[in-house]
Amino acid sequence: MNYSTSQFKNGLKLILDGNPCSIVNNEIVKPGKGQAFNRVKFKDLITGKTLEKTYKSGESLEGADVMELEMQYLYSDGEKWHFMEPESFEQYDLSEESMGSAVDYLVEQDICTVTLWNNNPITVVPPIQVILEVIDTDPGLKGDTAGTGGKPATLNTGVVVQVPLFVGIGDKVKVDTRTNEYSGRA
């Protein structure tokens, strides 16, 4: 299905240079003496890069069959990461490359958002906040409960996060996946 510039709106998914993209900004520019154009900002859903293009009004682009579904992360076999859509029990898998930074935060059973393009998964967004376990960190100073300083801690997914000094091995911590920051003890 094709979409004409008059149907462009934020969030519309279109094919650009062979990749599925999402419109993040659509501006109609009508020069006083010239024809009308749409100046459009896209996000490439595969590479995450932002692109800017200008179309003459009335031009059309091919729509991208893109869906975002909530899925449960099942397991990784070392090469592929496996997910299940809980309603249909349909399973999908992604390569580590497509997983991006989601590999740092997902533990089995977590619910996350998987983007499908032509029914193939292309990206995963982990929940904003995840609970992970500290598997390695230096012992904190005794009596420091205020958390004035910080130290690196390795969590069970392998990701390293700055934590307050009082956090020890075996503690469960909340992490904000957008910023990779410690946001409290779980």
Partner 1 sequence: MSKVKKNLVHYQDLIIKIREFFYSRKVTEVKTPSLLFSPSTDVYIDSIEVKVNRDISRPTDLYLHTSPELEMKRLLSKGSGDIFQICQVYRDNEYGSNNSNEFTMLEFYRIDFDMHSLVDEIIDLLKMLGKTDAAIKISYAQAFFEYGNIDILNADLEDLKKIANSLGLNSDYDWIEDLQTLLFVHLIEPKISQIPICFIYDYPKEQSALAKIDGPIAHRFELYINGIEIANGYEEIQSADEYRDRFNNELYKRKMIEKKKLLVDEEFLRDIKVGLPHCSGVAIGIERLFSSISL
- What residues line the site for partner 1 (CB under 8 A)? 6, 16-17, 27-37, 39, 51-57, 59
Considering only CA atoms, which of 145, 155, 149 is closest in space to residue 180? 155
Q: Which is nearer to partner 1, 34 or 143 (CB)?
A: 34
Q: Which is nearer to partner 1, 2 or 101 (CB)?
A: 2
Q: Which is nearer to partner 1, 63 or 140 (CB)?
A: 63
Q: Which is nearer to partner 1, 59 or 93 (CB)?
A: 59
Closest contact distance (angstroms) between CB of 17 and partner 1 is 6
Closest contact distance (angstroms) between CB of 18 and partner 1 is 11
Closest contact distance (angstroms) between CB of 55 and partner 1 is 7
Q: Which is nearer to partner 1, 38 or 177 (CB)?
A: 38
Report the C-alpha gap between 34 and 31 in whole angstroms: 5
Q: Which is nearer to partner 1, 5 or 98 (CB)?
A: 5
Q: What are the structure tokens assigned to 149, written together?
A: 């300083």
Which residues have CB under 8 Å from 30's CB, separation 6+? 36, 37
Residue 97 is given by DSSP the state H
Which residues have CB under 8 Å from 152's CB, separation 6+? 137, 160, 161, 162, 163
Report the C-alpha gap between 175 and 185 in whole angstroms: 9
Closest contact distance (angstroms) between CB of 12 and partner 1 is 17
CA distances from 115 to 35, 70, 94, 183, 184 (A): 36, 9, 11, 27, 29
Closest contact distance (angstroms) between CB of 43 and partner 1 is 15
Report the C-alpha gap between 161 and 159 in whole angstroms: 7
